[in-house]
Amino acid sequence: MRQRWEPSTAVTLVAATLLLLVVGYVDYVTGTEVRVFPLYFLPVAAVALRLGRAAGLGAALVCAVTWLGANFPAAASAPAVSAVNTLVMLVAFSVIALLTAAQRSWLERERNLSRTDSLTGLRNTRGFYELAANEIARATRYRRPLTLAYVDLDNFKDVNDRHGHARGDEVLVAAARTLSRASRSSDVVGRLGGDEFAVLLPETGAAAGEAAVLKLQALLRHALERHGWSVTASIGVVSFETPPPDVEALVHAADALMYEVKAAGKNALRCAVAPSPAARHAPTSSGAPRVWSARKG
């Protein structure tokens, strides 16, 4: 998934300043005969949309001062009228800034909601994939390892069938909270659908990844047993010393290991190290992860 490019604060300010200078010059050249003041809304809106309310109000003040400077010859002859007009312009520009900043907040809220699982509060598939793509790019740039744990809750369907979906939701929320609390702030935790979760550990190799997921496994087992639920977890863990080409490859490798755990009897953890790119493309290599640790829950 391609990362969306967004202009930096410096780029936004420079672009808005250049636009304001152009508008101010046009206003000065045309004089009071032609009303071009709505053009000042453009730099105000641009700054408020990109940088927020405070920056937008600052841009409104700068635009009001620029408008006064562009119309100074006419303003000098009637200072009282000029002061009132400048105040009116400041109010108009400020309103534009506030409305645009409110739109920005709404867009950010909607964007976050579209990437968040409504039940657990974790990243949904879309949100997880976006953050995971960023981590893969970072790991590739700095040549750092990363590890992914794919968690599937065993016997979850039985809980839904016997006790209803409300109890099933309680199980999912408890599992999500446990995974979040057991993870570092730099880790990416997501619900990828149904009773399946993923935990991405950036800058984490095989040994450290196994230790972290073993702790996670113990905490998850304790949380589920404490409520008396007959639910366990099958976990597949893949460590990449060389990052995979995309998130699909990352998730697929851990998901395949998780299904091996399911086939072997569930309630276990299986760790593997993904082969290097050279090994994956070698004619004699299967390209499958090398399993190096398997533990029961």
225-243 pLDDT, tens digit per residue, is: 988 888 999 999 999 999 9
CA distance 272 to 258: 11
Q: For 93-118, what is each residue's pLDDT tens digit?
A: 999 999 999 988 888 877 777 789 98
- The per-residue pLDDT of the chain, averaged, comes to 87
For residue 115, what are the contacts with CB-CB under 8 A and spacing of at least 6? 123, 124, 126, 127, 130
Confidence of residue 146 (pLDDT cuts 50, 70, 90): very high
* CA distance linking residue 118 with residue 105, whole number of Å: 19
The active-site residue, picked from 117, 152, 195, 255, is 195
CA-nearest of 53, 35, 56 to 44 is 56
What's the confidence (pLDDT) of residue 227? Answer: 86
Instruction: Flag whether pLDDT at 296 surpasses 80.
Output: no
Active site residue 195: yes
CA-CA-CA-CA torsion sign (137, 140, 145, 151): positive
Residues 6+ apart with CB under 8 A from 194: 156
Distance CA(46)–CA(31), nearest Å, equals: 25
User: Which pTM value belongs to this model?
Assistant: 0.68
**Domains of the chain, each with CATH number or no CATH:** 9-113 (no CATH), 125-296 (3.30.70.270)
At 2, the pLDDT band (50, 70, 90 cuts) reads very low
**Mean pLDDT, range 72-93, rounded to an integer:** 82
Q: What percent of the chain has pLDDT over 90?
A: 66
